[in-house]
Amino acid sequence: GENISQGEGLSEKEVIDGFSSDIEQYASTLPGFAEYRDRRENMEIQESMYGGLLFIGIFFGSIFLICLLIIMYYKQITEGFEDQTNFEIMQKVGMGDEEIRRTIRKQISMVFGLPLVGALCHTVVGMRMVYMLLGAIGFFETGLLIACSVGGCLIFALVYSICYKRTSMAYYRIVRMMG
């Protein structure tokens, strides 16, 4: 508009909005696909996209982690009931309480440890692909990506170790029920 070119009595926001609408009108007359967004609009779109991706990632990651831990927990509890008689026999032949605990920890650490190591290896290997995917939407902050990945791995390992401890305690209680 005329007032925009002269800039009389207008705030900076009004000038930018008027200029943006003029460019948008011009871009719509061009053949083919042409679209104009100012920096503010781009930032709003990117923030909403990043927020949505973050929510989806945390939501699905949490669901998968919870499902994995529940399946592993109940699998080990079922094995504990199946192993009750074996541990009762081992106690009768002289196996001590500490040896039983050590055996249970070793058995459960294999079930919980291997998937944890596998998940961490997949994360390290998959970081290159994640970096390229995020680069496609204009996110190139390597330091932030590495920090978030390390933080995610630490949270995953912490939750995993808590579940491991609770599972081994429950397994031990089940085995001791008969003995």
Whether pTM exceeds 0.85? no
Q: Among the listed ranges 12-16, 97-101, 123-127, which one has the minimum average pLDDT value?
A: 12-16
- Asked if residue 134 has pLDDT above 90, the reply is no
The ranges assigned to domains in the chain are 1-36, 48-178
3-class SS letters over 147-158: HHHHHHHHHHHH
Instruction: Report the range out of 12-21, 64-73, 92-101 with the highest average pLDDT.
Output: 64-73
pLDDT confidence tier of residue 146, bands split at 50, 70 and 90: very high
DSSP output for 127-178: HHHHHHHHHHTT---HHHHHHHHHHHHHHHHHHHHHHHHHHHHHHHHHHHHH
Listed range (11-20, 84-93, 135-144) with the worst mean pLDDT: 11-20
Residue 154 has pLDDT above 90, yes or no: yes
**pLDDT interval class at 6 (50, 70, 90):** low
Q: Is the pLDDT of residue 163 over 90?
A: yes
Quote the pLDDT of residue 54: 86
The model's confidence at residue 33, banded by pLDDT at 50, 70 and 90, is low
Rounded distance between C-alpha atoms, residue 132 and residue 145, angstroms? 11
Residue of 154 and 140 predicted with greater confidence: 154
Q: Is 104 exposed, middle or buried (0-12, 13-18, 19+ CB in 10 A)?
A: buried
Write out pLDDT tens, residues 69-109: 999 999 999 998 988 888 888 888 888 888 988 988 898 99
